[in-house]
Amino acid sequence: MNGNLNILPTVAIVGRPNVGKSSLFNRFVAKRQAIVADEAGTTRDRLVSVVDQFDRKFMLIDTGGLDYGFKDSLKDKVKEQVNMAISGAEVILFVVDGGAGLAPTDEIIADQLRISNTNVILVINKIDNDSREKNIAEFFGLGFANYVCVSAHHNIGINDLYDITAEFLPLEDGDNYSEKDTSIKVAIVGRPNVGKSALVNAILGEDRSIVSPVAGTTRDAIDSNIIHEDQEITFIDTAGIRRPGKIGVGIEKFSVLRAMNAVERSDVVVIVADASLLATAQDIHVAGLAWEMCKGIIVVVNKWDLITDNTEHRKIRAMSRVRDRMHFMSYIPVCFTSALYSEGIQGLLDTILDLHKERHIEVSDTKLQMSLFGAIANHSPKASHTKSRRGIKIRKMAQTGVNPPTFTVSVSNPDLLHFTYKRYLENRIRKEFGFDRTHLRLIYKKG
The predicted pLDDT at position 2 comes to 33
pTM of the model: 0.60
Q: Flag whether pLDDT at 352 surpasses 90.
A: yes
The predicted pLDDT at position 43 comes to 30
- The predicted-structure confidence for 235-290, as pLDDT tens digits, reads as follows 875 643 333 344 444 444 555 566 677 788 899 999 998 888 888 887 888 888 88
Query: In the chain, how long is the greatest CA-to-CA distance?
Result: 74
Average pLDDT, the chain: 77
* Type of residue at 342: S
- The predicted-structure confidence for 233-244, as pLDDT tens digits, reads as follows 988 756 433 333
The residues, ordered by sequence, that sit 6+ positions from 252 with a Cβ below 8 Å of its Cβ are: none
- The predicted-structure confidence for 190-226, as pLDDT tens digits, reads as follows 877 788 878 888 888 743 333 434 333 333 345 678 8
Q: Flag whether pLDDT at 372 surpasses 90.
A: yes
Chain centroid, CA 134 distance in Å: 40
- Residues facing residue 149 across a β-bridge: 124
Under the banding of pLDDT at 50, 70 and 90, the label for residue 14 is confident
Say if residues 267 and 186 touch (Cβ distance below 8 Å). yes
The predicted pLDDT at position 5 comes to 31
Q: Which domains, from first to last, does the chain contain?
A: 10-175 (3.40.50.300), 184-358 (3.40.50.300), 365-446 (3.30.300.20)
Cα(59)–Cα(208) distance, rounded to whole angstroms? 33
**Of 426, 299, 297, the residue nearest 359 (C-alpha):** 297
